[in-house]
Amino acid sequence: MKKLTLLLCFVSFLTKAQNITVASGKSFTIEKTGAVTMSGNFSNSGTFTLNSDSDEFSSLIIGGSVTGNITYNRYVNSVGTNEWDLIGAPVDGQSINSFVTANASTLASNGDAYAIGYYDNYWNEWENYTTSSNWYPFDGNFLLGMGFQMATISGGTLKFTGAPAATNKTQPIIDFSEGEGEGGGEGGTKWNLVANPFPSYIHGNTSADSSNNFLTINSEKLHDSYQAIYGYDADGIGSGYTVYNNTSAALRIAPGQAFMVASDNPNLENPDVLSFTTAMRTIVGGDDFITSSRAMQDSYELILKLYEGDTEIDQTKFYFEDGLNLGLDPGYDAGHFNQQASLMSRLVEEDQGIGFAVNSMGLESINDVIIPLEINRESGNGFRISIHINGIYEGTNIYLEDSQEGTMTLLNEEDFELIPEINLSEVGRFFIHLTQTTFSIENETQTNHLNVYKLDANNFITVEGLAYLSNQTNLQLYNILGEELLSISLANNTNTQTISTQELTTGIYIIKLKSGDTVITKKLIIK
């Protein structure tokens, strides 16, 4: 390593140095394919520029102190329907007003409104910048670690000027999904738009770096059922957000790339705080989320895809690995961004009423598991479901059960097709069976269709799947001493029924569901 005093320089490759000094009146440029890593100090009295395009982003990693600013020319997609980029400032101290002025010829606009917006999860609204309003209620600068939506006129780079981050950075997140008051405004959500604050890539998951990655370092701060990175993909399916977690191939997040994460902490006085550490930084990376088509890691993978005609509408993914279970595996299971999506799965055990986009389980389940599906489609809106597999044993039969129609479709050989006569929603009708057995619907008992759970925030038990049962279903509730506290018959003419827990004190209870000759027993915890 050595000290570099720069007069005029262009870097289009990987360079290492101890210290870098750019003299007044001189310039240094890192081209889109280049990267500079220095162990020492950075000082700029001239011009220091980093470039990018739609799928290549230059990187700068500084190990020591920082004096002076840099300019990052960050590529941003063109304006259009669902085509905006999610971007964060890759520099510190960039004034928003100055940013708009400097990029006026490139930044998309309509009158005094510009294509820059922040996501307000208190009201579940996007607030766009205008020159005539007090748009940004903070300090007038882009905040490092906070994400924004942006768009250019025809696709091009926007100029960010400020100090390059060289120390750990943080960003608070909050859950506003609990309704009015402190817990959230009308339509408040758990989703927070955050961004890579460094002018370099960062490791996103364990496949990229086993320990120094965004998901591992922030695992305790993210919602357990949504412990993932939700990257916006304008060309994507379903919600438009692609899920990346520890089942994904190596994910490295581009400089200034923003993404959604979920919080489960509604405490405004003490919100959770995400960490972006210098140890996450790397010069290795590719494109951003916009055109990304990253394949999952080479493991046992099953993908269900739902089509309307020839158009893919949604998908849900399953992974099978040693050490995972049928319940929630944070960082390996991930709830769907849109809980009204066309196709989702549920956890086989310990279901919390959440539809999953990624559902992982132990390797032993690959030939012996029944997975509930949630399909949301309007009546008369026909669809088909096909499978795509990677590494699944040839002897594994994958069936889709339609309990209402009494059919088992072997997806290994043909697609499942249906034109629903009624609106489809909730759980209890459709199931995926992985087995080495060849069987018909008669092989299965109807009690597999029942699902029961309680959400921590709600004062009731939810039972699903009742509409698809021919036998009367009874529910009994016991305390830990075995004393019966409740016994009721459930209505089979509705798919979902709720039972109040308002009178129950904190503790552990046992639920028994009896349908025909079979009994399902589950533990209930009241907090």
| pLDDT value at residue 11 | 62
| pLDDT value at residue 235 | 62
H or E segment to which residue 409 belongs: strand 407-410
Secondary structure (DSSP) of 205-254 = STTT-SSSSHHHHTTTTS-GGG-SEEEE-TT-STTSEEEESTTBSP-EEP
- pLDDT single digits (tens) 395-409: 789 999 998 888 899
| pLDDT value at residue 441 | 46
Q: Copy the structure tokens of residue 509.
A: 């209870």
346: left (phi over 0), alpha (psi -120 to 50) or beta: beta
Coil, helix or strand at residue 484:
strand
Strand-pair partners of 201: 282
DSSP code at position 184: -
Per the listing, tokens 């379903």 go with 238
pTM of the model: 0.86
Of 199, 201, 369, nearest to 300 by C-alpha is 369
Topology, domain 447-526: Immunoglobulin-like (2.60.40)
pLDDT tens for the chain, 527 residues long, are 444 544 456 666 668 888 999 999 999 999 999 999 999 999 999 999 999 999 999 999 999 999 999 999 999 998 875 678 999 999 999 999 999 999 999 999 988 889 999 999 998 999 888 877 666 656 789 999 999 999 999 999 999 999 999 999 999 999 998 754 444 456 799 999 999 999 999 999 999 999 999 999 999 999 999 999 999 986 667 778 999 999 999 999 999 999 999 999 999 899 999 999 999 999 988 766 543 334 445 468 999 999 999 999 999 999 999 999 999 999 999 999 999 999 999 999 888 899 999 999 999 999 899 999 999 999 999 999 999 988 776 778 999 999 888 889 999 999 999 999 999 987 889 999 998 877 554 444 444 667 777 766 667 788 877 766 667 888 888 887 888 888 888 877 677 888 887 778 888 888 888 877 767 777 777 77
Going from N- to C-terminal start, the domains of the chain cover: 3-110+151-162, 300-444, 447-526
Residues in contact with 167: Cβ distance below 8 Å, sequence separation at least 6, in sequence order: 278
